[in-house]
Structure 1
Amino acid sequence: MTPAEMEPRIVRYGDLMPCKTAFIDAHTPGSDQKENFTIIGGGVSESPDQHVHISIPHGFNIGAAGQPPKCRNSLHSHRTAEVFFVLSGRWRFFWGRWGDAGEVVLEEGDIINIPTGIFRGFENIGTDYGMIMAILGGDDAGGGVIWAPQVIEEAGAHGLVLGDNGSLYDSKKGEALPDGVRPMPLLTEEELKGFPEMSPMQVVGMGVRRYWDMVCLAKDAPCKVIGETGIIRDKPGFEVDLVTRSCASDEMHAHDKPSVLMPVKGHWKVTWDGGSTTLAPGDTMSLPEDLPHAVVPSMTGEAALYHIVGTDDPAGPTWTG
């Protein structure tokens, strides 16, 4: 592939296009300043304003959330895997029906694999604008977001209504539900029993890994972070590796499925049959299947990137603790 052919598969951090109306809590105080980014795949946005950077199916979705300090994402759940790593800032992740079953604080480079079927939320507790990058299982990301009932109720008080067609309607703009579309029904008490209250030991012990621990494990070979043999043992429809300077190789190789490169630290030179480019933290690059390529740091200093590749495992519910 020529550089011109590859360019549409590269999304630079500075070119990311945010959506501030992506979800039902877009007007809710405390959540109304967040920005949602859909980088690869359709994502789970409820707004037609959401820009999709790369629509090529990968078997998983890549997105991001950018938030100023004290801004939070409301309690929700997914039917497929949701994995986050911290690109910048300091973040508190919390979970449970009311968000009080447990919490954990993540720093730059840390990763969390959140169990399917539990309500979760997150907030920027740092002092500057922060960004977390997300991997969602499946090409359709499980069909959307499942909101805790109180999130939908509070949003209604601020003018936003979610239709049962998965679309948002803003009464502040004079919008109303179209004929034949009803408000998204709230989960019943019986349905809520299917969303477990998992302990910190379950979520943190099984699903959180610290950046510097993974760096230590990636001395001679990439650290298998998520996968059947990973330090997080799960099969969510994709695998995640952490590659560092000490284990990077200039040997050309290829994958039988599309793969994605996401630098966390340092600059990385990607070479393929037909060209090369350099990636920086926050950039995302999609590599086609069966394309020989090599990835090595291009400058001195700390260097690490996450590598994601799809698998044949189903993208439905995965581990539940």
Structure 2
Amino acid sequence: MTPTEMETRIVRYGELKPCCTAFIDAHTPGSDQKENFTIIGGGVSESADQHVHITETPGYNIGAAGQPPNCRNSLHSHTTAEVFFVLKGRWRFFWGRWGTAGEVVLEEGDIFNIPTGIFRGFENIGTDYGMIMAILGGDDAGGGVTWAPQVIEDARDHGLVLGENGRLYDSKKGEHPQEGVAPMPLLTDEELKAFPETPVRDVVRDYVARYWDLMALAADEPAKVIGAEGLLRDRPGFDVEFLTRGSLSETPYTLEAHEVLLVMRGHWRLAWEGGETVLAPGDTCAVPPRLAHSLAPSMSGEASLYRVMNTADPAGSTWRG
């Protein structure tokens, strides 16, 4: 593989292209300054304006959300895995029918494997622009998002209508659902009973891992974060590992799985027969299966990254304690 070919599999942080109209709450006050990034795969964006950096999916999607302080993402639910880690800033995640069942605050490097089937939202509670990286289960990321009823109602009051076809229509631009396309129906009270009010204790205990704990666990070898043997025991269709300076040598290795590298801190030298490159914080690299390569920090100081590998597990299969 030539360096040019490898660059087509790398999305540099500074080259990310945002979409500001990706979801139904794009005009709702408090949520109208969000930026959505689709890095690998189509993600769950409801907007045709969303730019997809790498269209080929390895069995999961990679995305990101960037938000200024006090900006929030509204309550929604997924049927497949949704995993976030904080790249920049300080974030509050909350869940439940009204977002009051529980909350947890994540700092830079922390990771959250949000349980499926619950309404969840998040907001930047830091003082600067923040960024969270996302791993979404399945090639089609579950086919979309289920919004809490009040989110759809608030969006309609501010000019955005979600059609039952999953497409957003912006009345401020003169867009309206075409004939035969009805608005997305609101969930009924009976349907809402299927979305649990998961206790804080269960979520923090079983679904959250802290950065500095992972730094200690990965001192000598990669730390298994999400997977059948992971710290967060789950089988969502991919495994997540955490690597730091002592986790790998520069000896080349080969994997049968698709390997996506998500750099958290430091600069990492990726080398393979045919070339080498350096990955910086916020960069995403999709290493193809069966490519012999080596990976090691390229300079002194703190270095860490998350590694995601596809598995044969169903994308919707998640563990509940």
Q: Give TM-score, length-normalised by structure 2.
A: 0.99
Aligned residue for 1:173?
A: 173
Equivalent residues in 2 for 1:227-242, closer than 5 Å: 227-242=227-242
Contact conserved, 1:164 with 1:185, CA < 8 A, in 2? yes
Contact conserved, 2:235 with 2:317, CA < 8 A, in 1? no
Rounded Cα–Cα distance in structure 2 between residues aligned with 1:197 and 1:42? 29
Q: Residue 249 of structure 1 aligns to a residue in which SS? A: coil
Q: Residue 250 of structure 1 aligns to a residue in which SS? A: coil
Q: Shift of the alpha carbon at 1:90?
A: 0.2
Aligned residue for 2:134?
A: 134
Aligned residue for 1:122?
A: 122
Aligned residue for 1:9?
A: 9
Contact conserved, 1:272 with 1:294, CA < 8 A, in 2? yes
Rounded Cα–Cα distance in structure 2 between residues aligned with 1:3 and 1:290? 17
Contact conserved, 1:238 with 1:309, CA < 8 A, in 2? yes
Rounded Cα–Cα distance in structure 1 between residues aligned with 2:179 and 2:288? 43
Aligned residue for 1:147?
A: 147
- Residues 267-303 of structure 1: per-residue CA shift (max 9 Å, x gap): 0000112111000110000001111111100010000
Q: Shift of the alpha carbon at 1:255?
A: 1.5
Aligned residue for 1:96?
A: 96
Equivalent residues in 2 for 1:1-321, closer than 5 Å: 1-321=1-321
Contact conserved, 1:116 with 1:319, CA < 8 A, in 2? no
Rounded Cα–Cα distance in structure 1 between residues aligned with 2:178 and 2:62? 31
Q: Residue 198 of structure 1 aligns to a residue in which SS? A: coil
Contact conserved, 2:87 with 2:131, CA < 8 A, in 1? yes
Rounded Cα–Cα distance in structure 1 between residues aligned with 2:271 and 2:76? 39
Rounded Cα–Cα distance in structure 2 between residues aligned with 1:303 and 1:137? 27
CA RMSD of aligned residues (A): 0.7
Rounded Cα–Cα distance in structure 1 between residues aligned with 2:218 and 2:285? 21
- The letter for the 1-side match of 2:72 is R
Q: Residue 8 of structure 2 aligns to a residue in which SS? A: helix
- The letter for the 2-side match of 1:281 is P
Rounded Cα–Cα distance in structure 2 between residues aligned with 1:246 and 1:57? 30
Contact conserved, 1:104 with 1:204, CA < 8 A, in 2? yes
Number of residue pairs aligned between Structure 1 and Structure 2: 321
Q: Shift of the alpha carbon at 1:248?
A: 2.1
Contact conserved, 1:207 with 1:232, CA < 8 A, in 2? yes
- The letter for the 2-side match of 1:277 is T
Rounded Cα–Cα distance in structure 1 between residues aligned with 2:94 and 2:222? 29
Unaligned runs of 5+ in 2: none
Q: Residue 98 of structure 1 aligns to a residue in which SS? A: coil
Q: Shift of the alpha carbon at 1:254?
A: 1.5
Rounded Cα–Cα distance in structure 2 between residues aligned with 1:309 and 1:293? 15
Q: Shift of the alpha carbon at 1:318?
A: 1.1
Q: Residue 191 of structure 1 aligns to a residue in which SS? A: helix
Rounded Cα–Cα distance in structure 2 between residues aligned with 1:287 and 1:295? 11
Contact conserved, 1:116 with 1:320, CA < 8 A, in 2? no
Contact conserved, 1:117 with 1:320, CA < 8 A, in 2? no
Rounded Cα–Cα distance in structure 1 between residues aligned with 2:317 and 2:229? 18
- The letter for the 2-side match of 1:158 is H
Contact conserved, 1:73 with 1:122, CA < 8 A, in 2? yes
Contact conserved, 2:264 with 2:306, CA < 8 A, in 1? yes
Deviates more, 1:46-55 or 1:255-264: 255-264
Q: Residue 44 of structure 1 aligns to a residue in which SS? A: coil
Q: Shift of the alpha carbon at 1:253?
A: 1.0
Rounded Cα–Cα distance in structure 1 between residues aligned with 2:5 and 2:242? 27
Q: Shift of the alpha carbon at 1:239?
A: 0.4
Q: Give TM-score, length-normalised by structure 1.
A: 0.99
Contact conserved, 2:83 with 2:113, CA < 8 A, in 1? yes
Unaligned runs of 5+ in 1: none
Contact conserved, 1:262 with 1:284, CA < 8 A, in 2? yes
